[in-house]
Amino acid sequence: MPGDTIDAIIKTKFITRGFKNGTGSTSIVNNGTFFNNFDMIPQMGYNPDYEIGDKNKRKKLGLPEKDRMAALDSTDTKSLSVNYLTNGRSDFINMETVISTSKDQIAIAPGSLVKKWKEGDRNYYQYKVDVASQNFASFVSAKYEVKARKWNGVDIEIYYDEKHSVNVDMMLDAVQRSLEYYTEHFGPYYHKQCRILEFPRYATFAQAFPGTMPYSESFGFVYNLEDEKDNNVIDAVIAHEMSHQWWAHQVVGASMQGGTMMSEAFAEYSSLMTMKSITENPMKMRQFLKYDHNRYLRGRGSEREKELPLYKVENQMYIHYGKGSAILFALQDYIGEDKVNTAMRNFLNEFKYMEPPYPNSYDFMKHLNAQVPDSMKYLIDDWFMNITLYDNRVKEATYTKLDNGKYLVNMEVESRKLRADTIGLETEVPLTEWIDIGAFADEDEDVLMYQKRVKITKKHNTFSFEVDSLPVKAAIDPRHLLIDRIYSDNIKTVKEKE
């Protein structure tokens, strides 16, 4: 019954007998073991994730259609009482681990190291989380080298294979940079440690557990990025996983539509903002934005059921990762970084580490609406509450050299705004948009020599502006802030007017 407690002792073994005609299990290995609590520890309650998900198979077996997520509803007390990560099987818990391993290895679990000792030919470690955390734990063991530094009382630690040390200092920098940005803009970090743990390249992902983040060796460990002058995978991936220490580990959405917007969309946006803070040339951010835009556009092209607006996302990666981060990044450019971050921080402060009921996307939208000026409220409706796409293109661009040595640029642009329904049917809607126009001074589009945000209310428009030196290309939405169906026609080489 509610409020009851029970003590349980669970004995479990994981034994590999022989080998499969294939990869088999790689979670427990000679050097580089990595498994999580769901792999080894029974979970209380019913887990709908194990239900058959394929529509055709369910139909063949006479099963009813399976909803991907409960509908967004602030009165649905049942769905609000569980979060989408554990679906009612647990909330924030106090976790303590005693783990042993071979005498030449270090074993790590979430939390602060309370004690370590030797017993026979085994190393023993005791860990305890510093704050009640998500029921999501990693257990890792390997022959590790460790490099560490302290930041504001937090132990930043990189556990790595001795052969893979080349980027470790960059990793320490990336973790510290993320801590600095997120604590300044979103609030405190509640763990006393922040660990990155290398695991073998049997898998190629990074994951965020409470204060502890296992990273595949393929993420920055096995190739030299010391001389990398461009955007690199270490900064971006570490910033994303670090942000989950706030988005999902401090606040987590209810098990209903929109829940993953407040974890994955927020995490990828936070990563983008961290990258923005260190990017010397703002045009380099287009690489990240193109990646997220393309992830969204490709994903919606292969959607087999239905696409929903961002605030109702049903754990679709192309929406919460791709579209969500792109929209939040564009919004901070339109209304200000401080306003978007304030909305996120206020939302976090209202719900962090709270017992049920869990927040839904309406709760965040309330905080966001408070930060958006009336003149920009249409962006909330277009970008969050509906499925909105743009179709901007430069039809023609010319320049004329003036007597004063400057250049007059004339550009003809075509702009359309489209509204899509859940099955992808698009309808053109009226334009009343603020969109950037600009010109580049180079072929590689690294130097944006001119930019102005203009109001566009009709499909066909002509713009003229002066620049100090020879323009090479003219563009509409030159930084790719808007989700445009085709980016390649947004930019056109400027030719001399005949």
For 63, which DSSP code?
A: P
Position 44 scores a pLDDT of 78
Confidence bin at 230 (pLDDT 50/70/90)? low
pLDDT given at position 228: 62
pLDDT at 441 over 70: yes
pLDDT of res. 47: 81
* pLDDT for residue 231: 61
Distances (CA, A) of 294 to 323, 324, 477: 9, 12, 16
pLDDT value for 420: 96
Percent helix, strand and coil across the chain, each rounded to 5? Answer: 30, 25, 45
Q: Which two tokens stand for residue 275?
A: 């990258």
| Rounded alpha-carbon distances, angstroms, from residue 363 to 266, 344, 368, 381 | 14, 11, 9, 16
pLDDT per position as a tens digit, 333-381: 999 999 999 999 999 999 999 989 999 999 999 999 999 999 999 999 9
- pLDDT of the residue at 67: 78
**Structure confidence at residue 15 (pLDDT):** 82
pLDDT in tens, 3-13: 888 898 989 88
Q: What is the pLDDT of residues 130-177, one digit of tens each?
A: 999 999 999 999 999 999 999 999 999 999 999 999 999 999 999 999
Alpha carbons 386 and 319: distance in angstroms, whole number: 12
Query: CA-based angle 106:112:118, to the nearest 5?
Result: 40
Domain ranges of the chain: 386-498
The pLDDT of residue 453 is above 80: yes
The count of other CB atoms within 10 Å of the CB of residue 43 is 13
| Res. 40 pLDDT band, cuts 50 70 90 | confident
What would the mean pLDDT of 257-275 be, rounded to a whole number? Answer: 96
Rounded-to-integer distance, Cα 235 and Cα 185, Å:
18
Q: 386-498, which class in CATH?
A: mainly beta
Residues in CB range of 78: below 8 A, 6 or more apart: none
> 295-301: long-range contacts (C-beta < 8 A, 24 or more apart)?
295/321, 295/322, 296/322, 296/323, 296/326, 296/483, 297/322, 297/483, 297/485, 300/424
**pLDDT value at 251 more than 90:** yes
What is the arithmetic mean of pLDDT over 37-53? 84
Looking at residue 21, its pLDDT comes to 82
- pLDDT band with cut points at 50, 70 and 90 for residue 88: confident
In 54-167, alpha helices (H) = 55-60, 77-80
Q: Band of the pLDDT at 225, cuts 50, 70, 90?
A: confident
More confident residue, 113 or 19: 113
pLDDT of 460 over the 90 cut: yes
Mean of all residue pLDDT scores within the chain: 94
Average pLDDT over residues 380-398: 97
For the cut 90, the answer to whether the pLDDT of residue 112 exceeds it is yes
Is residue 199 within 8 A of residue 219, CB to CB? The reply is no
